[in-house]
Chain A
Amino acid sequence: MELIDRYLHAVKFWLPKAQAADIIAELGEDIHTQVDEQEHELGRELTSEETADLLRKRGRPVLVANHYLPQQYLIGPLFFPIYKFVLKIVALCCLVPWVSGWLALIVASGGRDFHGWVVRFGSMGSSLWSTAFLSAAVVTMVFAVLERAEAKSHFMETWDPRKLPPVRNPRKISRSCAAVELAVTLVFAVWWAVNLSSAVLDLPFARITLSGTWTYFFGGFLAVMLGSAALAAASLIDPHWTVRRATAKLLIDCAGAALFCWLLGVHIVAGIAAPDLTPIQAHELADAINLWAARVMPSGLIIGVIAAAVNVHRIRRLRMGDQGRAGTVNGQANGPTPYASPLP
């Protein structure tokens, strides 16, 4: 019986003071009745182990008490999906600058100092953790306040369906974006063709001589620009993504990224001549530019890989959409419907 008293005492700890005595009296009576009944069936008193087993079946004291408490949430089911969505964005906002900063440090160190990477990773990791923890705490507090405000005013029940965002069609290309892209690409291509066809650049303050490989870069980048312009023109005429067009975009972006990385690593500056610089200073400046270009190359590579991944994702999504349409029965698509986020 001492075990039952201890159990009831533990349950009482979690109960609201005003009702605790009443609840415990009823719960105690229920347990004692059950014990009496079992003892009557067995014809003897319950052992300590049997009493413990009976109480174990009733559940932990805190869980038993919890049944009597009003249901409370820090963040309830109404706000939880929005809370989770915001936390994901916050996590992304914390992680992206951190990874970028770490990569930038690797690049700046010339990619050789492995021990330095690890030390920086550790020190930046601790700052990331504190930033992420603080951000998550602030978001949680804001949502907890919203939860309580909603419980009082029910402001989430007032909404206007007309303010929902329009359904976004992932196949659709904005004509205005295509027009801007076409104009900018053409202007840049013309400027490129007029000013950079020669391997010797006459600038107002210096003369820069590029290495012999420049001819390939000049032609390669011009071809990439013309390809982009053609793609933008096609999007202007028919503003919809197709698998073929997305594949062309992937090839153009990959070619541009490969050319850019190659340009950074090829020591493109052969010489610099400037009135204010001695030949030795000019040589050192050319070397420094080439060195920094080589150090930036990994960043260029990462950007290229990200661009390629975005394009591959687009192709995959378009292919899935095509398969969905192929399975269309009586005008009802079986594939995924491209609904936009329901968040206003």
Chain B
Amino acid sequence: MAQGTVAANPETFENLRGELRRGSLVLAVLSALRHEQYGYTLRKALAEHGMEIDEGTLYPLLRRLESQGLLASEWREQDKRNKRFYRLSKEGKEILKQLTAEWQSIDSSLRAVWREQGHGTDRPVPTRG
């Protein structure tokens, strides 16, 4: 190993990455539900945009957001099968606006911190090893 490099523990990275992504799931789900979708298509749409989410996490999350009044749902028949369609409620739209602003604020704060570290760039500090 070259002097000054530190080998990152892959397990630690995966845990932290999972934690980071879990924090952004609500925002991703609310954003995707600006247009009505049912669970399966929502999961696929998120996966296509790089936000993989397993069904064991998605469905309980959808129920929680609905119980908080951020989503509205409706059972409807499609392709000869009953499906539950979710969409943003009025309150959900307002919360999504606030969360998006919060996300942008976090993003700009982080960029400022990285700039202050003397890298003179918006990019995060590159990791080595």
Contact = CB atoms under 8 A, between A and B. Distances in A.
B81 A32 contact: yes
Interface stretch (B8-16, B57-65, B91-99): B57-65
A26 B81 contact: no
Interface of B: 38-40, 55-57, 59-60, 63, 75, 81-84
A27 interface: yes
Contacts of B55: 27, 30, 58
Contacts of A64: 56
Interface in A24-42: 25-27, 29-30, 32-34
Interface of A: 19, 23, 25-27, 29-30, 32-34, 58-59, 63-64, 67-68
A68 to B, nearest CB: 5
Contacts of A68: 59-60, 63
Given A25-B82, A68-B63, A30 B56 contact: no
Nearest to B43: A30
A29 B63 CA distance: 15
B82 A67 contact: no
Contact of A67 (B40, B56, B84): B56
Contacts, number: 39
A32 B55 CA distance: 13
A67 B81 contact: no
B71 to A, nearest CB: 13
What's the dominant secondary structure at chain B's contact region? Answer: helix
Contact of A29 (B56, B60, B81): B81
**Secondary structure class of chain A's binding surface, majority of residues:** helix
A26 B75 CA distance: 9
A27 B56 CA distance: 9
A26 B40 CA distance: 10
A68 B64 CA distance: 9
A29 B84 contact: yes
Q: Which of A23, A30, A34, A58 has the most CB of B within 10 A?
A: A30
B56 A63 contact: yes
Contacts of B59: 23, 26-27, 30, 67-68
Residue of A27, A32, A67 ringed by the most chain B CB atoms within 10 A: A67
27 contacts: A23-B59, A25-B75, A25-B82, A25-B84, A26-B39, A26-B59, A27-B55, A29-B38, A29-B81, A29-B82, A29-B83, A29-B84, A30-B55, A30-B59, A33-B40, A33-B81, A33-B83, A34-B40, A58-B55, A58-B56, A59-B56, A63-B56, A64-B56, A67-B57, A67-B60, A68-B59, A68-B63
